[in-house]
Amino acid sequence: MEQDPVSAPEAASGARGVAQPVAAPLTRAANFLVATLNPGLENRAAVRSFCGDLAALLRAVEFRDLEGGLSCVVGFGAAAWDRLFGPPRPAELHPFREIRAGARHAVSTPGDLLFHIRAKRMDLCFEVATQIMGRIGDAVTPVDEVQGFRYFDERDLLGFVDGTENPRGEAAVEAVLIGEEDAAFDRGSYVIVQKYLHDLNGWNALPTEAQERIIGRTKLSDIELDDSVKPTSAHNALTTIVKDGKEIKILRDNMPFGRPGYGEFGTYFIGYSRSPRTIEQMLENMFVGQPPGNYDRILDFSRAVTGSLFFVPSATFLDSVTEDEPADEALSAAPAAAQPAPSGRSQHDGSLGIGSLKGDTSHE
């Protein structure tokens, strides 16, 4: 019998869910599509119905190129979760909170659904995005779409290799998938996205040695600078999170994007983690500084223009969703409001009081 995702999550039976492909191998192309859910029962029903059909849609497109490395991850924002599924909500799912620190600003922008589509070829990503919008286009409103590409030897547009310190294999699974800490959402994950625009003229005017001190790595060989010469404000120093003597990893799959004719050059940050607190701490270190004022100098040349937090439920959860509305209609229809918090302070509930999640322009 098909389980109801609200009243009987797969974890309740003791069975382990099957994760969405959050730890899929890096690819040459990606499409990042963020949308908001339109009001109305019929729109919620359309999106709920689509949840169970996504796997079949992917199989249909994937079969046209079995070696294309196609995958798609779908995540839901806090307000959308309440409207679509009702209680319970994943334990650490909350609206993306902004960070303000001097001239640095990690903005919080609307986002109810995220589709992270990856493949070796952009046409596969394009086809999946087209099919998705063909199914739910009337139920949602797109608010951002970015087509990303791999740039030479895994570099971003700042010229540095991006993603060197990503965990691999079982370490990646451990870093991104929820376990017993929130058993009702076992095999789920949190994902934070931010779109950064770069001042390449200003950045390229810097000597290579100055760029390397900002990043914390050599530009040509991608070797980490020795601590004796690396500033404490270096990007890779501020985004290294250590708890109880152990480094806490996240999984980045950042992509360059741009429109040279418009002078637009950027990095789309996307970070998966089993707890959003890890990335939130990275963002606090970057925007506010560790200690305050010792901020990430990348932000003198890069600015965040979007920011959203989503929960990625297991594939098992998605397969069990039906078109029927969740039981608690009153709660599911009420959008979650962002909770204001003082900039630069941490809240007692374990989430940052300063808001958003800043994806490092992932040079780690």
Greatest Cα pair distance, the chain, in angstroms, is 64
The values of phi and psi at residue 224, to 5°, are -65, 135
For tokens 């994902």, the residue is 191
* Tokens found for residue 3: 């389980």
Given 112, 144, 162, 253, the catalytic residue: 162
Helix (H) or strand (E) holding 115: strand 113-119
Q: DSSP assignment, residue 323?
A: S
Q: At what angle do helices 122-136 and 54-62 cross, to 10 degrees?
A: 150
Listed in sequence order, the DSSP H helices in 195-275 are 200-204, 208-215, 235-238
Helix (H) or strand (E) holding 279: helix 276-287
DSSP, residue by residue, 153-180: TTB-TTSSB--TT---THHHHHHH---G
User: Is residue 162 flagged as an active site residue?
Assistant: yes
* Tokens found for residue 339: 């909770």
CA pair distance 343, 282, nearest whole angstrom = 15
The values of phi and psi at residue 357, to 5°, are -120, 120
Burial class (CB in 10 A: 0-12, 13-18, 19+), 120: middle
Sequence-separated (6 or more) residues with CB below 8 Å from residue 167 = 174, 175, 249, 251
Sequence-separated (6 or more) residues with CB below 8 Å from residue 256 = 148, 149, 150, 151, 155, 156, 157, 265, 266, 267, 268
Catalogue the active-site residues.
Answer: 162
